[in-house]
Amino acid sequence: MIGLGTQDSANDAIEFVESRETYSFPMYWDETFESWIAFGVTSQPAAALLSPSGEVLGAWLGAFPADEVLQLAAST
Amino acid sequence: MPAASNDGAAIDDAASTGTANVTIPTSDLASDQADSVDGTPVIDPPATTAGPETTDGDPPADDAKPAEPAWPDDGCSADNTPSPTEAADAPAPVLEIRTESAASPLPDLAVRRINCNGGWVNLRNELPSELPLLVWFWAPH
């Protein structure tokens, strides 16, 4: 799992990480927005599950369903 | 870089069902990969641990060999202990793409890691991976 953040500033992003205590997976900061554009993401939160080779297994806008994500991930 | 409009509409349209069709525009992304792939691995490789030194040239015993990590050590903590990272004011570096990631559908883009080991990574190098990859899109506000 990775977090892919954008909008606002890098310092805001770091404050977010510290306040949410997200240290168990990489949190990335993209100041260009280009990563979201590449995924077609226009609002957040959102999530996408990709197979090891890059196939899109699922995508969600808003909170993502953990059970469904785990089920899809296990099916690969 | 590719435009967002079509794919963004797809994810928005599907919001009412709770799922969205995110299509990574691989055809557009492929256009820039040829320029940037040179086969050199780049993403902060995990630190390697040297095996025990030997003076007679014999290989170390099997039980003395350090275990291969099952997953690259990216500095993230299994127990969620803090790993604060300073945000460096610097332009994004040009990061090369791993050979095996040349066909990755992810964008060739340097992003800053703001926890774990810190530093910069090329997003394209996240795939292929050993396990499925969940990408969580977030923003501070």
Whether residues B87 and A13 touch (CB distance < 8 A) is answered with yes
Cα separation, A40 vs A26, whole angstroms: 21
Question: How large is the average pLDDT for residues B1-25?
Answer: 44
Whether residues A23 and B76 touch (CB distance < 8 A) is answered with yes
Tokens 């409009």 correspond to B5
Q: Residue A56, exposed/middle/buried by CB under 10 A (0-12, 13-18, 19+)?
A: middle
Sorted by sequence, the CB contacts under 8 Å of residue B44 that are 6+ apart come out as B74, B117, B119, B121
Whether residues B87 and A35 touch (CB distance < 8 A) is answered with no
Domain extent listing, chain A: 1-42, 45-76
Whether residues A28 and B114 touch (CB distance < 8 A) is answered with yes
pLDDT, residue B11, reads 41
pLDDT, residue B13, reads 40
**Cα angle A23, A26, A32; round to 5:** 125
Cα distances (angstroms) measured from residue B1 to each of A10, A23, B108: 22, 30, 10
The list of chain A residues with pLDDT below 70 reads: none
Phi-psi region of A75 (alpha: psi -120 to 50; beta: other; left: phi over 0): alpha
Centre a 10 Å sphere on the Cβ of residue B78 and count the other Cβ atoms it contains.
Answer: 7
The pTM of the full predicted model, rounded to 2 decimals, is 0.69
Instruction: Please write the tens of the pLDDT for every residue from B82-128.
Output: 876 666 667 889 999 999 999 999 999 999 999 988 889 999 999 99
Å between A71 CA and nearest CA of chain B: 11
Cα separation, A28 vs B138, whole angstroms: 10
- Chain B positions in Cβ-Cβ contact with residue A39 (cut-off 8 Å): 7, 22, 24, 135, 137
Instruction: Please write the tens of the pLDDT for every residue from B14-52.
Output: 333 444 545 554 443 333 333 333 333 333 433 333 334
Q: Which of A12, A47, A52 sits opposite B130 (nearest CB)?
A: A52
pLDDT, residue B118, reads 87
Q: Are strands A2-5 and B133-138 parallel, antiparallel or unpaired?
A: parallel
